[in-house]
């Protein structure tokens, strides 16, 4: 199968939303065309994923399609952006039609779930690698940055933390228990918190998506904002499945493991009081921002210099 037939068969169907939203010309020409409405900013991000580094070797292709787009879309959620479209560059070691069918199915389901149309892309041969660029839009000047946290702000997180990181221990489990299946689902099918984008634009002062672990990603906010934080372990939102599986180690999963794709947010106390209960019910306040730099857990200095800055791209997983 040639490159153009591969694209026509497996990826053109993902462009079903073209000529709706801001995407007015999708795949099939030299470039895509996106028209940004007056009064809105373009928000975009690029993610690269390499087999054996960002996902296990021989990982199910339908899971990979979903996870790849979910991870990229999570960056849009952190900025408070509305999703529009994405591009995909796919490097394949060989043309495997069953693999492509399954991968494109997972990607299509994610595309439909997250409201992202395929705008274009490229394919080539080589080690299995994906590069996705996601585009969103936000009201002019309304994008939420990491640098907006101020002393006195409350720190909150969405959902529960640590499940996806714990799931790595069970990827090869031949007969997973119900609790294992629950955390595995969080790893295979993460949901970027695009549902919160509108609310956080209105109320949050800073945001980051939790892709590398809470401590590392909260550290990005603190560094960008020039502030410190106090957080409490007793407030960490942990799923019952994680607690049953990991016991005392559940907290460490929540603090240090990645791939949750939840949001870590800061709110001024005034904005938190004004925020609707429908938003607060989806968030857990875990601490507060303070002027003195540093990150403290239960009053103990975590040592930001000792907290990993993010995923170590030179440490392979198999």
- 45 labelled binding-site residue: yes
Tokens of 41: 């900013």
- Per-residue CA distances from 284 to 122, 169, 265, 266, 267 (Å): 41, 26, 10, 11, 12
Q: Are the CB atoms for 120 and 199 separated by under 8 Å?
A: no
Q: Are the CB atoms for 21 and 1 separated by under 8 Å?
A: no
> Residues, the chain, total?
318
- 82 labelled binding-site residue: no
- 163 labelled binding-site residue: no
Residue carrying structure tokens 């030179």? 314
- 146 labelled binding-site residue: yes
- 288 labelled binding-site residue: no
- 259 labelled binding-site residue: yes
Q: At what angle do helices 61-79 and 97-114 cross, to 10 degrees?
A: 30
Q: Which pairing describes strands 117-125 and 82-92: parallel, antiparallel, or unpaired?
A: parallel
CA gap 136, 75 in Å, rounded? 10
- 158 labelled binding-site residue: no
- 121 labelled binding-site residue: yes
- 96 labelled binding-site residue: no
- 212 labelled binding-site residue: yes
- Residues annotated within the binding site for Mg(2+) are 30, 45, 47, 75, 122, 209, 212
- Residues annotated within the binding site for substrate are 54, 259, 311
- Residues annotated within the binding site are 30, 45, 47, 54, 75, 121-122, 146, 209, 211-212, 259, 311
- Residues annotated within the binding site for ATP are 121-122, 146, 211
């Amino acid at each position: 199968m040639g490159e153009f037939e591969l694209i026509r068969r497996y990826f053109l169907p993902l462009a079903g939303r073209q000529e709706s939203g801001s995407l007015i010309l999708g795949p099939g020409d030299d470039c895509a065309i996106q028209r940004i409405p007056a009064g809105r900013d373009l928000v975009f991000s690029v993610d690269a994923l390499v087999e054996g580094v960002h996902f296990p070797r021989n990982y199910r292709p339908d899971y990979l399609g979903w996870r790849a787009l979910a991870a990229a879309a999570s960056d849009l959620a952190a900025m408070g952006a509305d999703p529009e479209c994405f591009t995909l560059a796919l490097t394949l070691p060989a043309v495997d039609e069953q693999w492509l069918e399954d991968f494109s199915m997972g990607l299509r389901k994610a595309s439909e779930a997250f409201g992202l149309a395929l705008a274009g892309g490229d394919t080539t041969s080589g080690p299995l690698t994906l590069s996705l660029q996601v585009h969103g839009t936000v009201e002019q000047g309304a994008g939420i940055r990491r640098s907006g946290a101020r002393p006195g702000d409350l720190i909150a997180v969405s959902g529960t933390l640590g499940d996806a990181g714990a799931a790595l221990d069970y990827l090869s489990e031949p007969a997973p228990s119900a609790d294992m299946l629950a955390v595995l689902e969080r790893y295979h099918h993460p949901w970027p918190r695009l549902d919160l984008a509108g609310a956080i634009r209105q109320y949050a002062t800073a945001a980051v998506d939790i892709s590398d672990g809470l401590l590392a990603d909260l550290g990005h906010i603190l560094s960008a904002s020039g502030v410190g934080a106090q957080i409490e372990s007793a407030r960490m939102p942990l799923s019952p499945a994680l607690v049953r599986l990991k016991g005392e180690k559940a907290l460490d999963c929540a603090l240090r493991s990645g791939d949750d794709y939840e949001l870590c947010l800061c709110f001024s106390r005034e904005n938190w009081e004004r925020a609707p209960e429908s938003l607060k019910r989806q968030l857990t306040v875990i601490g507060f921002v303070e002027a003195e730099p540093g990150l403290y857990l239960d009053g103990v200095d975590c040592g930001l210099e000792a907290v990993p800055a993010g995923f170590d791209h030179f440490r392979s997983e198999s």
